[in-house]
């Protein structure tokens, strides 16, 4: 069975995001083992300097790195990453599963993004869009796209 880890910096607090994510978590249960790790964001001042942001991202990267499952295909979500359509994304999931990488690990950084170190260690940097979304909505959108990708691979009518 496919195993998917989501490593997310920051905790969701808004009930509408929590329930939307829970819905996709429930839908994914029959198809994969989904693990969610919520890591703490580095504490930064109200208007942090670039040096303070960089230092915070470095601290977060240490915790992220510790949380990455051994042998996983690592996908870092970042704005400068590659954009894939849903069909391409489903092919990526299928390819990983069929080539022995039955463990996928998606990383969503804090609102300031991800440290360069994490982007370099990732097998793929993925961008959802050039648009900016609320940080926690990205987690819900990723869960939906994982579900959609699996449904495409299952020849389900979900993806029309």
Q: Walk along the chain (160 residues) and give the pLDDT tens digit of each residue.
A: 899 999 999 999 999 999 999 999 999 999 999 999 999 999 999 999 999 999 999 999 999 999 999 999 999 999 999 999 999 999 999 998 887 777 999 999 998 999 999 999 999 999 999 888 888 899 999 999 999 999 999 998 876 6
pLDDT of residue 97: 80
Instruction: Report if residue 47 sits inside a domain.
Output: no
Give yes or no for a contact between 72 and 106, defined as CB atoms under 8 angstroms apart: no
> What is the per-residue pLDDT for 62?
97
How many domains are contained in the chain? 1
- The DSSP bridge partners found for residue 113 are 110
**CA separation for the pair 63, 83 (Å, rounded):** 26
- Read off the pTM: 0.94
Give pLDDT, residue 56: 97
Produce one character per residue of 130-145: b if its CB has 16 or more CB atoms within 10 Å, e if not. eeeeebbbbbbbbbbb
Q: What is the pLDDT of residue 53?
A: 97
**Gap between the Cα atoms of 2 and 159, Å rounded:** 20
Contacts 24+ apart (CB under 8 A), 151-160: 152/86, 152/87, 152/90, 153/90, 153/93, 153/94, 154/31, 159/86, 159/87, 159/90
Containing structural domain, residue 64: 2-41+52-153
Q: Would residue 159 count as lying in a domain? A: no
Q: What three-state secondary structure class fits 6?
A: strand
d(CA 30, CA 139): 20
Q: Are 5 and 106 in contact (CB under 8 A)?
A: yes
- Residue closest to 73 by CA, chosen among 138, 125, 150: 125
Spatial separation of the C-alpha atoms in residues 133 and 116, rounded to whole Å: 21
Distance, in Å, from the CA atom of 39 to the CA atom of 67, rounded to the nearest integer, reads: 9
Report if residue 160 sits inside a domain. no
Query: What CATH number does the domain containing 27 carry?
Result: 3.40.1280.10
59 in a domain, yes or no? yes
pLDDT at 108: 96
Report pLDDT for 160: 66
């Amino acid at each position: 069975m496919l195993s998917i880890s989501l490593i997310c910096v920051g905790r969701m607090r808004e009930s509408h995001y929590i329930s939307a994510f829970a819905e996709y978590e429930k839908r994914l249960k029959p198809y994969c083992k989904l693990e969610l790790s919520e890591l703490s964001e580095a504490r930064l001042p109200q208007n942090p300097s670039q040096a303070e942001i960089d230092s915070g991202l470095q601290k977060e990267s240490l915790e992220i790195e510790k949380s990455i499952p051994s042998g996983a295909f690592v996908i870092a979500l970042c704005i400068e990453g590659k954009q894939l359509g849903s069909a391409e994304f489903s092919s990526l999931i299928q390819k990983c599963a069929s080539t022995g990488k039955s463990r996928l690990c998606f990383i969503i950084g804090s609102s300031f993004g991800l440290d360069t170190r994490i982007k370099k260690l990732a097998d793929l940097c993925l961008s959802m869009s050039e648009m900016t979304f609320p940080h926690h909505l990205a987690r819900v959108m990723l869960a939906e796209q994982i579900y959609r990708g699996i449904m495409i691979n299952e020849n389900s009518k979900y993806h029309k």
